[in-house]
Protein backbone atom coordinates (compact mmCIF):
# COMPACT_ATOMS: atom_id res chain seq x y z
CA UNK A 1 0.00 0.00 0.00
CA UNK A 2 1.41 3.40 -0.92
CA UNK A 3 1.94 6.15 1.63
CA UNK A 4 -0.63 8.92 1.78
CA UNK A 5 1.14 12.18 1.05
CA UNK A 6 -0.16 15.60 1.95
CA UNK A 7 1.34 18.73 0.43
CA UNK A 8 1.58 22.11 2.12
CA UNK A 9 2.31 25.00 -0.27
CA UNK A 10 3.82 28.13 1.26
CA UNK A 11 2.30 31.02 -0.66
CA UNK A 12 -1.32 31.02 -1.89
CA UNK A 13 -0.80 33.75 -4.48
CA UNK A 14 -0.76 33.38 -8.23
CA UNK A 15 2.32 31.16 -8.28
CA UNK A 16 0.98 29.05 -5.44
CA UNK A 17 -2.04 28.32 -7.63
CA UNK A 18 0.28 27.18 -10.45
CA UNK A 19 2.06 24.85 -8.02
CA UNK A 20 -1.25 23.48 -6.69
CA UNK A 21 -2.63 22.70 -10.14
CA UNK A 22 0.67 21.16 -11.26
CA UNK A 23 0.84 19.02 -8.12
CA UNK A 24 -2.74 17.88 -8.72
CA UNK A 25 -1.76 16.58 -12.18
CA UNK A 26 0.81 14.31 -10.53
CA UNK A 27 -1.92 12.39 -8.69
CA UNK A 28 0.28 11.51 -5.69
CA UNK A 29 -1.08 13.90 -3.06
CA UNK A 30 -4.32 13.11 -1.27
CA UNK A 31 -4.51 16.65 0.09
CA UNK A 32 -3.00 19.97 -0.95
CA UNK A 33 -3.27 23.07 1.26
CA UNK A 34 -1.72 26.52 1.59
CA UNK A 35 0.04 28.54 4.27
CA UNK A 36 -0.07 32.28 3.68
CA UNK A 37 -0.16 35.29 5.99
CA UNK A 38 -2.56 37.20 3.74
CA UNK A 39 -4.94 34.72 2.11
CA UNK A 40 -8.34 33.36 3.04
CA UNK A 41 -7.48 30.23 1.00
CA UNK A 42 -4.82 29.22 3.53
CA UNK A 43 -5.22 26.74 6.39
CA UNK A 44 -2.87 28.90 8.45
CA UNK A 45 -0.12 31.48 8.60
CA UNK A 46 3.52 30.87 7.67
CA UNK A 47 4.40 30.59 11.37
CA UNK A 48 2.09 27.54 11.58
CA UNK A 49 4.39 25.36 9.46
CA UNK A 50 5.99 23.65 12.44
CA UNK A 51 2.74 22.77 14.20
CA UNK A 52 1.29 21.36 10.94
CA UNK A 53 4.22 18.98 10.42
CA UNK A 54 2.23 16.10 11.88
CA UNK A 55 -0.55 16.62 9.34
CA UNK A 56 1.46 17.34 6.16
CA UNK A 57 4.32 15.18 4.86
CA UNK A 58 5.59 17.40 2.07
CA UNK A 59 6.04 21.14 1.57
CA UNK A 60 6.76 23.40 -1.38
CA UNK A 61 7.82 27.05 -1.31
CA UNK A 62 5.88 28.95 -3.99
CA UNK A 63 7.64 32.30 -3.71
CA UNK A 64 9.34 34.25 -6.47
CA UNK A 65 12.17 35.56 -4.28
CA UNK A 66 15.16 33.20 -4.38
CA UNK A 67 16.23 34.48 -0.95
CA UNK A 68 12.85 33.60 0.59
CA UNK A 69 12.76 30.22 -1.20
CA UNK A 70 16.14 29.31 0.27
CA UNK A 71 15.22 30.55 3.76
CA UNK A 72 11.92 28.69 3.88
CA UNK A 73 13.23 25.50 2.27
CA UNK A 74 15.97 25.32 4.90
CA UNK A 75 13.41 25.88 7.69
CA UNK A 76 10.99 23.28 6.31
CA UNK A 77 13.73 20.73 5.87
CA UNK A 78 14.87 21.27 9.47
CA UNK A 79 11.25 20.68 10.58
CA UNK A 80 11.27 17.31 8.81
CA UNK A 81 9.19 18.04 5.74
CA UNK A 82 10.00 16.38 2.45
CA UNK A 83 10.63 18.93 -0.31
CA UNK A 84 9.37 17.22 -3.45
CA UNK A 85 10.13 18.13 -7.01
CA UNK A 86 6.80 18.97 -8.65
CA UNK A 87 6.70 17.88 -12.29
CA UNK A 88 3.87 18.37 -14.76
CA UNK A 89 3.20 15.18 -16.77
CA UNK A 90 3.33 17.24 -19.98
CA UNK A 91 6.92 18.27 -19.34
CA UNK A 92 9.89 16.37 -20.78
CA UNK A 93 12.68 15.41 -18.41
CA UNK A 94 15.28 13.10 -19.91
CA UNK A 95 16.31 10.09 -17.80
CA UNK A 96 19.88 11.35 -17.40
CA UNK A 97 18.77 14.80 -16.19
CA UNK A 98 18.97 15.54 -12.47
CA UNK A 99 16.24 17.54 -10.72
CA UNK A 100 16.90 18.57 -7.12
CA UNK A 101 14.37 18.86 -4.31
CA UNK A 102 11.92 21.73 -4.14
CA UNK A 103 11.85 22.39 -7.89
CA UNK A 104 8.89 22.73 -10.18
CA UNK A 105 8.97 21.69 -13.82
CA UNK A 106 5.87 23.21 -15.42
CA UNK A 107 3.95 21.91 -18.42
CA UNK A 108 5.70 21.92 -21.80
CA UNK A 109 9.12 22.57 -20.22
CA UNK A 110 12.07 20.47 -21.42
CA UNK A 111 15.04 19.39 -19.34
CA UNK A 112 17.39 17.68 -21.77
CA UNK A 113 20.05 14.98 -21.37
CA UNK A 114 22.56 15.36 -18.53
CA UNK A 115 21.18 18.76 -17.52
CA UNK A 116 21.18 19.55 -13.80
CA UNK A 117 18.53 21.65 -12.08
CA UNK A 118 19.53 22.77 -8.59
CA UNK A 119 17.52 22.99 -5.39
CA UNK A 120 14.45 25.24 -5.32
CA UNK A 121 14.37 26.17 -9.03
CA UNK A 122 11.31 27.28 -10.96
CA UNK A 123 11.34 25.95 -14.53
CA UNK A 124 8.34 27.65 -16.11
CA UNK A 125 6.04 26.64 -18.96
CA UNK A 126 7.80 26.15 -22.27
CA UNK A 127 11.31 26.69 -20.88
CA UNK A 128 14.12 24.64 -22.44
CA UNK A 129 17.14 23.53 -20.46
CA UNK A 130 19.40 22.06 -23.12
CA UNK A 131 21.81 19.16 -22.66
CA UNK A 132 24.60 19.40 -20.08
CA UNK A 133 23.39 22.78 -18.79
CA UNK A 134 23.65 23.47 -15.06
CA UNK A 135 20.96 25.53 -13.36
CA UNK A 136 22.27 26.50 -9.93
CA UNK A 137 20.04 26.59 -6.84
CA UNK A 138 17.05 28.94 -6.53
CA UNK A 139 17.00 30.06 -10.18
CA UNK A 140 13.94 30.85 -12.25
CA UNK A 141 13.88 30.01 -15.92
CA UNK A 142 10.79 31.87 -17.05
CA UNK A 143 8.24 30.96 -19.74
CA UNK A 144 9.74 30.11 -23.13
CA UNK A 145 13.28 30.96 -22.03
CA UNK A 146 16.15 28.81 -23.26
CA UNK A 147 19.35 27.84 -21.50
CA UNK A 148 21.76 26.64 -24.17
CA UNK A 149 23.83 23.47 -24.03
CA UNK A 150 26.67 23.41 -21.48
CA UNK A 151 25.63 26.75 -19.95
CA UNK A 152 25.93 27.54 -16.25
CA UNK A 153 23.23 29.73 -14.67
CA UNK A 154 24.46 31.21 -11.35
CA UNK A 155 22.61 30.80 -8.05
CA UNK A 156 19.40 32.83 -7.73
CA UNK A 157 19.49 34.11 -11.32
CA UNK A 158 16.30 34.71 -13.32
CA UNK A 159 16.27 34.15 -17.08
CA UNK A 160 13.33 36.32 -18.28
CA UNK A 161 10.51 35.16 -20.56
CA UNK A 162 11.62 34.39 -24.09
CA UNK A 163 15.30 35.11 -23.44
CA UNK A 164 18.26 32.93 -24.42
CA UNK A 165 20.91 32.36 -21.77
CA UNK A 166 24.30 31.22 -23.03
CA UNK A 167 27.39 31.00 -20.86
CA UNK A 168 29.58 27.93 -21.19
CA UNK A 169 30.30 26.05 -18.00
CA UNK A 170 33.32 24.22 -19.39
CA UNK A 171 31.64 20.79 -19.52
**CATH assignment at residue 23:** 3.40.50.20
Q: How confident is the model at residue 3 (pLDDT cuts 50, 70, 90)?
A: confident
Q: Is residue 160 part of a domain?
A: yes
**Domain residue limits at 39:** 5-79
Whether 91 and 66 map to the same domain: the answer is: no
Rounded Cα distance, 26 and 47, in Å = 28
Q: Are residues 101 and 160 in the same domain?
A: yes
Looking at the domain assignment, is residue 171 inside a domain? Answer: no
Q: Which SS3 state, helix, strand or coil, does residue 15 take?
A: helix
**What confidence tens digit (pLDDT) does each residue in 75-95 have?**
999 999 999 999 999 999 999
Q: What is the mean pLDDT of the chain?
A: 96
Confidence check: pLDDT of 168 > 90: no
Q: Which of 16, 44, 79 is the last residue in one of the domains?
A: 79
The residue among 79, 108, 139 that closes a domain is 79
pLDDT value of position 1: 46
Any idea what the CATH number is for the domain that residue 101 is in? 2.160.10.10
> Residue 152: what pLDDT?
97
Which long-range CB contacts under 8 A does 46-55 form with residues at least 24 apart?
46/10, 46/72, 49/8, 49/10, 49/75, 49/76, 49/79, 49/81, 50/79, 52/8, 53/79, 53/80, 53/81, 55/6
Task: Let me know if 26 is exposed, middle or buried by CB neighbors in 10 A (0-12, 13-18, 19+).
Answer: middle
**Same domain (yes/no): 75, 90:** no
- 60 torsion bin: left (phi>0), alpha (psi -120 to 50), beta (else): beta
Number of domains observed in the structure of the chain:
2
Whether 15 is in a domain gets the answer yes
Would you state the pLDDT for residue 22? 98
Last-in-domain residue among 50, 79, 108: 79
Is the same domain home to 101 and 134? yes
Q: Are residues 70 and 135 in the same domain?
A: no
pTM of the prediction?
0.96
Give the count of alpha carbons within 13 A of 17, CB side only.
Answer: 4
Residue 57 DSSP symbol: S
Total Cβ atoms within 10 A of residue 4: 10
% of the chain exceeding 70 in pLDDT: 98
pLDDT score for 20: 98
102 domain-assigned = yes
Taking only the tens place, the pLDDT of each residue in 119-129 is: 999 999 999 99
Note whether residue 121 is domain-resident: yes
Burial of 107 (0-12, 13-18, 19+ CB in 10 A): middle
d(CA 145, CA 76): 29
Does residue 61 fall inside a structural domain? yes
Amino acid sequence: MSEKRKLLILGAGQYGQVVRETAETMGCFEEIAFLDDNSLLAVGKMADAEKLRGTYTDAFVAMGSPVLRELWMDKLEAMGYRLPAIRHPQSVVMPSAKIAEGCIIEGMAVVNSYAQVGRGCLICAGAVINHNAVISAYCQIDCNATVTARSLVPKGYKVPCGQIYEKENGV
